[in-house]
Amino acid sequence: MKEFQRRRIGRPSQSGAEAENNPLHALDHEQRRTLFLETAAAPFEEKGYANTSVDDITRELGFTKGVFYYYWKNKREVVQEIHDRALKVMIERLDRVMTEESSPAIRIEVAIRNHVEAVLANRSIIAVLLGNFDFSEETLEGRRAYARRFQELIEEGIATGVVRDLDPKVLTYAILGLCNSVAR
């Protein structure tokens, strides 16, 4: 009786012709997750959450549902991870500006530039983050924290005279809204 070695779904063979032909073979676990998330973001951006199925995602990837379910329980988990990663990128960029730049005018300029660059570099992922979705409380709090940090820059700009003395919350949301509009 011939023995069959069972391998886990979603993991490429480690050797042989099958491994050579599998595009995931050269990628580690985290690189595969990132590839899947970046690819899954496109159907969510195009069709929205409700109109995107697991079949749409796997078709976009060219893989089976088994591969999908190896990494996630459902599409909600995918969207949540897309949100979390997008938010993390945005917060890291803003934190870097806050620590590396000393001039309020330069801080605001660089923060706006970084925000727009992050949106453009990760258009589909950011569009999902900005889309109409039932966010987790953690994601909502992360978004609020980001807006508060950005508002601190605006308040600092107002205090030093580099920004007109207007409502800092309104200015913050106006600036972020304009920056985010490039993703749509």
pLDDT in tens, the chain (184 residues): 444 344 444 555 556 665 566 666 677 888 888 888 888 888 887 887 888 899 988 888 888 888 888 888 988 888 888 888 888 888 998 999 999 988 999 999 999 999 998 888 877 777 776 766 777 888 889 889 999 999 999 999 999 999 999 999 999 999 999 998 887 6
Query: Residue 79: which of 112, 116, 108, 52 has the closest Cα?
Result: 52
- Under 8 Å between Cβ of 13 and 25: yes
**Residues whose CB is less than 8 angstroms from the CB of residue 147 and which lie 6 or more positions away in sequence, other chains included:** 172, 173, 176
Tell me how far apart the alpha carbons of residues 143 and 147 are, in angstroms, rounded to a whole number. Answer: 6
Residues 115, 121, 126, 127, Cα dihedral to 10°:
120
Euclidean distance between CA atoms 152 and 154, whole angstroms: 5
In contact, 153 and 111? CB cutoff 8 Å: yes
Range 79-183 has CATH code 1.10.357.10: yes
Could you tell me where in the chain the CATH 1.10.10.60 domains are found?
A: 16-76
First to last CA, the chain: 59
Question: Where does 16-76 sit in CATH, by number?
Answer: 1.10.10.60
In whole angstroms, what separates CA 139 from the centre of its chain? 11
pLDDT at 118: 85
Residue whose token pair is 């803003």: 94
pLDDT of residue 7: 42
Q: Is 161 left (phi over 0), alpha (psi -120 to 50) or beta?
A: left
Domain with CATH 1.10.357.10 in the chain: 79-183
